[in-house]
Structure 1
Amino acid sequence: MKKLLLIIILFCLFSCKSKEDKSETSVDETATKISGQELFEGEGNCIACHKSDQKIIGPSLQEIAKIYKDNKASIVLFLQEKSEPIIDPSQYEIMKTNFAITKSMSEEELKALEDYIFSFSK
Protein backbone atom coordinates (compact mmCIF):
# COMPACT_ATOMS: atom_id res chain seq x y z
CA MET A 1 0.00 0.00 0.00
CA LYS A 2 2.83 2.38 0.89
CA LYS A 3 4.48 1.70 -2.45
CA LEU A 4 1.27 2.45 -4.31
CA LEU A 5 0.85 5.71 -2.41
CA LEU A 6 4.46 6.69 -3.18
CA ILE A 7 3.98 5.95 -6.88
CA ILE A 8 0.81 8.04 -7.00
CA ILE A 9 2.53 10.98 -5.27
CA LEU A 10 5.52 10.79 -7.62
CA PHE A 11 3.23 10.58 -10.62
CA CYS A 12 1.30 13.66 -9.49
CA LEU A 13 4.47 15.65 -8.90
CA PHE A 14 5.92 14.88 -12.30
CA SER A 15 2.66 15.38 -14.19
CA CYS A 16 2.07 18.76 -12.51
CA LYS A 17 5.60 19.86 -13.30
CA SER A 18 5.28 19.19 -17.01
CA LYS A 19 1.96 21.10 -17.20
CA GLU A 20 3.55 24.03 -15.39
CA ASP A 21 6.45 24.14 -17.84
CA LYS A 22 4.09 24.13 -20.84
CA SER A 23 2.01 27.02 -19.52
CA GLU A 24 5.11 29.08 -18.77
CA THR A 25 6.34 28.56 -22.32
CA SER A 26 3.08 29.75 -23.87
CA VAL A 27 3.09 32.85 -21.65
CA ASP A 28 6.67 33.62 -22.68
CA GLU A 29 5.83 33.20 -26.38
CA THR A 30 2.90 35.59 -26.04
CA ALA A 31 5.08 38.13 -24.26
CA THR A 32 7.61 38.12 -27.09
CA LYS A 33 5.05 39.12 -29.73
CA ILE A 34 5.87 42.74 -30.40
CA SER A 35 3.75 45.32 -32.15
CA GLY A 36 5.63 47.78 -34.32
CA GLN A 37 2.74 50.20 -34.02
CA GLU A 38 2.88 50.06 -30.21
CA LEU A 39 6.63 50.74 -30.31
CA PHE A 40 6.16 53.55 -32.84
CA GLU A 41 3.46 55.28 -30.79
CA GLY A 42 4.81 54.39 -27.35
CA GLU A 43 8.35 53.55 -26.26
CA GLY A 44 9.98 54.74 -29.48
CA ASN A 45 8.12 58.07 -29.41
CA CYS A 46 8.44 58.13 -33.21
CA ILE A 47 4.94 59.53 -33.57
CA ALA A 48 6.17 62.85 -32.18
CA CYS A 49 7.99 63.58 -35.45
CA HIS A 50 6.49 61.18 -38.04
CA LYS A 51 2.94 60.84 -39.34
CA SER A 52 1.68 58.27 -41.80
CA ASP A 53 1.00 60.53 -44.78
CA GLN A 54 2.54 63.93 -44.14
CA LYS A 55 5.86 65.44 -43.17
CA ILE A 56 5.83 66.97 -39.71
CA ILE A 57 9.36 67.26 -38.35
CA GLY A 58 10.54 64.07 -40.01
CA PRO A 59 9.39 62.47 -43.26
CA SER A 60 6.09 60.60 -43.47
CA LEU A 61 5.98 56.85 -43.00
CA GLN A 62 4.88 56.50 -46.61
CA GLU A 63 7.98 58.36 -47.79
CA ILE A 64 10.29 56.40 -45.48
CA ALA A 65 8.82 53.07 -46.62
CA LYS A 66 9.04 53.97 -50.30
CA ILE A 67 12.62 55.23 -50.21
CA TYR A 68 13.93 52.37 -48.08
CA LYS A 69 12.19 49.77 -50.25
CA ASP A 70 13.38 51.43 -53.49
CA ASN A 71 16.94 51.46 -52.17
CA LYS A 72 16.67 47.98 -50.62
CA ALA A 73 17.97 49.57 -47.43
CA SER A 74 17.51 48.52 -43.81
CA ILE A 75 15.63 50.73 -41.39
CA VAL A 76 16.94 48.51 -38.59
CA LEU A 77 20.55 49.32 -39.46
CA PHE A 78 19.74 53.04 -39.60
CA LEU A 79 18.06 52.91 -36.18
CA GLN A 80 21.14 51.14 -34.82
CA GLU A 81 23.26 53.95 -36.30
CA LYS A 82 25.02 51.42 -38.54
CA SER A 83 24.04 53.05 -41.83
CA GLU A 84 23.84 56.55 -43.22
CA PRO A 85 20.60 58.49 -43.60
CA ILE A 86 19.17 58.21 -47.11
CA ILE A 87 16.03 60.35 -46.92
CA ASP A 88 16.95 63.77 -45.57
CA PRO A 89 20.50 64.00 -44.24
CA SER A 90 19.87 67.57 -43.09
CA GLN A 91 17.44 66.19 -40.45
CA TYR A 92 19.94 63.61 -39.21
CA GLU A 93 21.10 65.67 -36.23
CA ILE A 94 17.51 65.91 -34.97
CA MET A 95 17.05 62.16 -35.35
CA LYS A 96 20.27 61.43 -33.44
CA THR A 97 18.57 62.28 -30.15
CA ASN A 98 16.29 59.25 -30.60
CA PHE A 99 19.10 56.78 -31.21
CA ALA A 100 19.47 56.34 -27.45
CA ILE A 101 15.95 54.88 -27.49
CA THR A 102 16.32 52.76 -30.62
CA LYS A 103 19.73 51.40 -29.66
CA SER A 104 18.22 50.04 -26.43
CA MET A 105 15.61 48.08 -28.42
CA SER A 106 16.11 44.44 -29.23
CA GLU A 107 16.64 43.21 -32.78
CA GLU A 108 13.10 41.80 -32.69
CA GLU A 109 11.64 45.16 -31.62
CA LEU A 110 13.52 47.02 -34.34
CA LYS A 111 12.35 44.50 -36.94
CA ALA A 112 8.75 44.96 -35.76
CA LEU A 113 9.18 48.72 -36.09
CA GLU A 114 10.62 48.31 -39.59
CA ASP A 115 7.75 46.01 -40.59
CA TYR A 116 5.25 48.56 -39.31
CA ILE A 117 6.86 51.35 -41.35
CA PHE A 118 7.00 49.14 -44.46
CA SER A 119 3.28 48.51 -44.09
CA PHE A 120 2.78 52.09 -45.33
CA SER A 121 4.37 51.47 -48.72
CA LYS A 122 1.98 51.63 -51.62
Structure 2
Amino acid sequence: MSCSFSWGRLRRASGPTGSLTPYDAFWKTHLMVSVGDLQLDLTLHALVNDGLMAIFVVTVELEVRREIAIGQLTSWFHALVPVAAAIAGLAASGTAFNTVSNRSSPAYAGQYRLCGPIPTSR
Protein backbone atom coordinates (compact mmCIF):
# COMPACT_ATOMS: atom_id res chain seq x y z
CA MET A 1 0.00 0.00 0.00
CA SER A 2 2.70 2.46 1.00
CA CYS A 3 4.85 1.56 -2.00
CA SER A 4 1.95 2.06 -4.41
CA PHE A 5 1.12 5.42 -2.81
CA SER A 6 4.74 6.54 -3.11
CA TRP A 7 4.92 5.33 -6.71
CA GLY A 8 1.70 7.18 -7.58
CA ARG A 9 2.88 10.37 -5.89
CA LEU A 10 6.20 10.28 -7.74
CA ARG A 11 4.41 9.68 -11.04
CA ARG A 12 1.95 12.51 -10.37
CA ALA A 13 4.69 14.93 -9.34
CA SER A 14 6.71 14.29 -12.49
CA GLY A 15 3.76 14.81 -14.84
CA PRO A 16 2.29 18.08 -16.05
CA THR A 17 -0.43 19.58 -13.85
CA GLY A 18 -2.66 22.50 -14.64
CA SER A 19 -3.60 23.51 -11.10
CA LEU A 20 -1.96 23.75 -7.71
CA THR A 21 -2.56 20.56 -5.72
CA PRO A 22 -3.00 20.59 -1.92
CA TYR A 23 0.43 18.96 -1.65
CA ASP A 24 2.02 21.80 -3.63
CA ALA A 25 0.04 24.42 -1.72
CA PHE A 26 1.37 22.98 1.56
CA TRP A 27 5.00 23.34 0.44
CA LYS A 28 4.39 26.91 -0.81
CA THR A 29 3.23 28.04 2.65
CA HIS A 30 5.16 31.19 3.65
CA LEU A 31 6.89 31.40 7.01
CA MET A 32 8.24 34.67 8.35
CA VAL A 33 10.43 35.09 11.41
CA SER A 34 11.71 38.48 12.47
CA VAL A 35 13.95 39.52 15.34
CA GLY A 36 14.56 43.24 15.49
CA ASP A 37 15.71 44.37 12.06
CA LEU A 38 16.53 40.83 10.92
CA GLN A 39 13.73 39.26 8.90
CA LEU A 40 13.57 35.78 7.37
CA ASP A 41 10.79 35.10 4.85
CA LEU A 42 10.85 31.61 3.33
CA THR A 43 8.45 29.06 1.96
CA LEU A 44 8.22 25.76 3.79
CA HIS A 45 9.92 24.10 0.81
CA ALA A 46 12.88 26.50 0.97
CA LEU A 47 13.16 26.08 4.74
CA VAL A 48 13.44 22.30 4.43
CA ASN A 49 15.79 22.42 1.44
CA ASP A 50 18.09 25.16 2.66
CA GLY A 51 17.90 24.93 6.43
CA LEU A 52 17.05 21.49 7.69
CA MET A 53 18.89 19.60 4.96
CA ALA A 54 22.06 21.63 5.64
CA ILE A 55 21.87 20.69 9.32
CA PHE A 56 21.29 17.04 8.38
CA VAL A 57 24.24 16.93 5.97
CA VAL A 58 26.60 18.51 8.50
CA THR A 59 25.48 16.04 11.17
CA VAL A 60 26.01 13.06 8.87
CA GLU A 61 29.42 14.34 7.76
CA LEU A 62 30.55 14.74 11.37
CA GLU A 63 29.38 11.23 12.19
CA VAL A 64 31.16 9.73 9.18
CA ARG A 65 34.38 11.58 10.01
CA ARG A 66 34.21 10.28 13.57
CA GLU A 67 33.68 6.72 12.35
CA ILE A 68 36.61 7.01 9.94
CA ALA A 69 38.90 8.49 12.60
CA ILE A 70 38.09 6.36 15.66
CA GLY A 71 35.14 4.13 14.82
CA GLN A 72 34.44 0.96 12.89
CA LEU A 73 35.44 2.42 9.49
CA THR A 74 39.16 2.76 10.32
CA SER A 75 40.06 -0.22 8.12
CA TRP A 76 39.23 -0.58 4.42
CA PHE A 77 37.87 -4.06 5.03
CA HIS A 78 35.19 -2.77 7.42
CA ALA A 79 34.42 0.23 5.19
CA LEU A 80 33.80 -1.88 2.07
CA VAL A 81 30.14 -2.73 2.79
CA PRO A 82 29.02 0.85 3.66
CA VAL A 83 30.79 2.25 0.58
CA ALA A 84 29.16 -0.37 -1.67
CA ALA A 85 25.77 0.39 -0.08
CA ALA A 86 26.23 4.13 -0.73
CA ILE A 87 27.08 3.54 -4.39
CA ALA A 88 24.12 1.17 -4.77
CA GLY A 89 21.85 3.77 -3.14
CA LEU A 90 22.93 6.40 -5.66
CA ALA A 91 22.35 4.02 -8.54
CA ALA A 92 18.95 2.93 -7.21
CA SER A 93 17.70 6.50 -6.68
CA GLY A 94 18.82 7.53 -10.16
CA THR A 95 17.18 4.45 -11.70
CA ALA A 96 13.92 5.08 -9.82
CA PHE A 97 13.90 8.73 -10.88
CA ASN A 98 14.50 7.88 -14.52
CA THR A 99 11.81 5.18 -14.40
CA VAL A 100 9.00 7.42 -13.14
CA SER A 101 9.97 10.74 -14.72
CA ASN A 102 7.96 12.07 -17.61
CA ARG A 103 10.58 12.93 -20.23
CA SER A 104 8.01 14.33 -22.65
CA SER A 105 7.30 17.17 -20.22
CA PRO A 106 8.47 20.67 -21.25
CA ALA A 107 10.46 20.82 -17.99
CA TYR A 108 12.99 18.41 -19.53
CA ALA A 109 13.49 20.36 -22.75
CA GLY A 110 17.20 20.63 -23.50
CA GLN A 111 18.29 18.72 -20.41
CA TYR A 112 20.48 15.68 -20.19
CA ARG A 113 18.13 12.69 -20.10
CA LEU A 114 19.92 10.49 -17.60
CA CYS A 115 19.70 12.73 -14.57
CA GLY A 116 18.68 11.81 -11.07
CA PRO A 117 18.55 13.07 -7.51
CA ILE A 118 22.09 12.70 -6.17
CA PRO A 119 22.88 14.58 -2.95
CA THR A 120 26.33 16.13 -2.72
CA SER A 121 28.31 18.00 -0.11
CA ARG A 122 31.82 19.35 0.21
**TM-score, normalization by structure 2:** 0.27
Larger Rg: 1
Give the TM-score, by structure 1 length: 0.27
Q: Which has the higher strand share?
A: 2
- The structure with more helix, counted as a fraction of residues: 1
